[in-house]
Structure 1
Amino acid sequence: MASSGDSWIREYNEGLKLADDITNMISERSSLPASGPEAQRHSSAIRRKITILGTRLDNLQSILSKLPGKQPLSEKEMNRRKDMLANLKSKVSQMASTLNMSSFANRDSLLGPEIKPVDATSRATGLDNYGVVGLQRQIMKEQDEGLESLEETVMSTKHIALAVNEELGLQTRLIDDLDEHVDVTDSRLQVRTC
């Protein structure tokens, strides 16, 4: 077996280990208090690992789609790997739904549907020079529209992040003021009890 196939299996096995780690963390979650900073940290760690695993699965899918050209695999082996990947993706989706990570299951809501671009060579087949230039302009226009859409998303996210940051700053100041008030009240109580 060629090295790229071995790297796919190795990457898949690492994904399996990460999935087992996430499953254990989800099981440990039941022993933690229902709320509080420790429970939030634990849930955040689980979400982060699920996201990492999702990225790893996307990478495995990409490598798998490129393997037939790089190395000859039997159809049976390709189907076996596709099944292994589909099963792991299903397991990750179940873990994500356990944590109400619906956005993980449907990344299209954020990034739009993943559309395989038509190969530029096949689009240019049969075109003369003017047609090729027109096609290039059309492709550049499509890319510009995609970038504009991405810019809108980034700006929206930035505004949300700034609003959250401002709210956190306000809450921090309120907590600090409350701490000062508690300290003053505590010292007054000590003076009165003496």
Structure 2
Amino acid sequence: MASPSDSWMREFNEASKLADDIGARIAERSSLPPSGPETQRHVSAIRRKITILGTRLDSLESLLAKLPSKQPITEKELHRRQDMFVNLRSKASQMASTLNMSNFGNRNNLLEQDSKPVAEINRTTGLDNYGLVGLQRQIMREQDEGLEKLEETVISTKHIALAVNEELTLHTRLIDNLDEHVDMTGSRLQRVQKRLAILNKKTKGGCSCMCLMLSVIAIVVLAVVIWALIKYL
């Protein structure tokens, strides 16, 4: 169990919970229709969580590289945590590939580094002048490779931004469809209200005619009664 001061293990546990949640949501997708607004919203939520998981994995990788200088840790424990991280990264890549998030996989490949101890070594120890020159050239090559990876990472980030923009466009389209359905329902409701008003007027008109007819009959009956009384009295 991680100690309260072990920030890396806390971050790792949070990332593992997020990965489990993503796995459960991917499993739930099989119970949804192949297409439709509900399915699209579900997939969009999974994609956002996978993107967040990728960010957390990058943070974990950075913390793991600085771990030996931050807290006392054995080499065995360091290797164990590196294996844990690699397994979680692999799980995240598999879930991303399930949703065809190729940019996520490319991003992991660009940022992935070989698992190795991070102990700092004095690279110049025991080197002569020729060795120092060779070391300097090697460092320059490493810097060039680092710049190339940085350029690739920037391009990958651009692709991620495009994917997020695509998700926003999808949500905008769903909202527009919802507005259209609301307008159609409002129009139908207005038509029903007009028909009810017409029916109500017709009903009132029918009652008026009936009352008039009854009044006429009552007057006729009253006239007959009066005539009969006058005639026989």
- Percent identity between matched residues is 56
C-alpha contact 1:2 1:71 (8 A) present in aligned 2: no
Larger Rg: 2
1:114 CA drift (Å)? 5.0
Matched, 1:21 2:28: no
User: Is structure 2 residue 77 aligned with structure 1 residue 77?
Assistant: yes
- Aligned-residue offset at 1:4: 8.4
**Aligned residue-pair number:** 151
Can you give the 5+ residue segments of structure 1 that lack an aligned partner in the other structure? 117-141
Letter in 1 for 2:19: A
Q: Is the 8 A contact 2:93 2:105 kept in 1?
A: yes
Contact 2:16–2:88 (CA under 8 A) maintained in structure 1: yes
| Secondary structure, aligned partner of 1:23 | helix
> 82-91 or 63-72: which moved more?
63-72
1:72 Cα shift? Answer: 2.5
Structure 1: 4+ residue segments shifted above 4 A: 1-5, 113-116
Residue 107 of structure 1 deviates from its aligned partner by 2.4
* Alpha-carbon distance change, 102 to 5 in structure 1, aligned in 2, over 3 angstroms: farther
Using the size of structure 2 for normalisation, the TM-score is 0.49
Q: Who is 2:12 aligned against?
A: 12
Decide whether aligned partners of structure 1 residues 108 and 49 sit closer, same or farther in structure 2, where only a CA change above 3 A counts: closer
The 2-side partners of 1:93 and 1:2 are apart by 26
Q: Answer whether contact 1:25 1:46 (CA < 8 A) is retained.
A: yes
Match in the other structure for 2:88: 88
The equivalent of 2:224 in structure 1 is none
CA separation of 1:96 and 1:32: change in aligned 2, threshold 3 A: same
Partner of 2:209: none
Partner of 1:119: none
Q: Kindly tell me: are residues 83 and 103 of structure 1, through their superposed partners in 2, closer, same or farther at Cα, counting changes over 3 Å?
A: same
Q: How far apart, in 2, do the equivalents of 1:68 and 1:18 lie?
A: 26
